[in-house]
Amino acid sequence: MNEITLDVNGTPYKVAVEDTTLLLDALRRRVGVTSAREGCGVGACGACTVLAEGRSVSSCLAVAVRYDGTPLTTADGLPEDDPVVSSFVDSDAMQCGYCIPGFVLMTKELLSENRSPSDEEISDHLEGNICRCATYPEIIKAVRLAAKRSAT
């Protein structure tokens, strides 16, 4: 067992983990995060996405100890008026909603690297996230709107 600090949305949590404990499990079982979720467990769906220092990580593939002290962002840590959050809401970019927090964080990452992505750049960046409800048209609208809102 290791005692590590998970710095989640600005709050430090001291948690005990094994060497092999996955970041996803540590966040869900020890910290109580609900927005990172298991969909595949093999890095193929994006439902478990979190941001580590702003960069997307599939937390189902990451071991928790490696993120000791690293600033982590999960979707529930974003404010209501975050431009990406509000754009997803205003674009009706959700059906069952299970996959959506992952898309939100991927969009945060994309817009931090590229302020006005083309549609092709949007789909290139979001390709690894699966939405089985196929909310893709609304997600694309949401990302375009978020780019506009982030620019102003």
- Cβ closer to ligand FES: 43 or 69? 43
SS3 15: strand
CB of 152 to ligand FES, least distance (A): 28
Buried b (16+ CB within 10 A) or exposed e, 8-25: beeeebebebeeebbbbb
Task: Residue 60: name its binding partner from ligand FES, another protein, none (Cβ under 5 to 8 Å by kind).
Answer: ligand FES
Nearer to ligand FES, 96 or 151 (CB): 96
How many CB atoms are located within 10 Å of the residue 72 CB?
Answer: 25
Per CB under 6 A, contacts with ligand FES among 55-84 are 58, 60
CA–CA distance, 29 with 145 (Å, rounded to integer): 34
Q: Choose the binding region for ligand FES from 2-10, 25-33, 81-89, 96-104 (rule: CB under 6 A).
A: 96-104
Which residue's CB is nearer to ligand FES, number 32 or number 97? 97
Residue 46 contacts ligand FES per CB under 6 A: yes
- For another protein, the closer CB: 44 or 52: 44
The token duo for 117 is 């992505």
CB of 92 to ligand FES, least distance (A): 11
Query: Residue-wise over 32-43: b if at least 16 C-beta within 10 A, else e?
Result: ebebbbebeeee
| Beta strand 11-17 pairing with 71-73 | unpaired
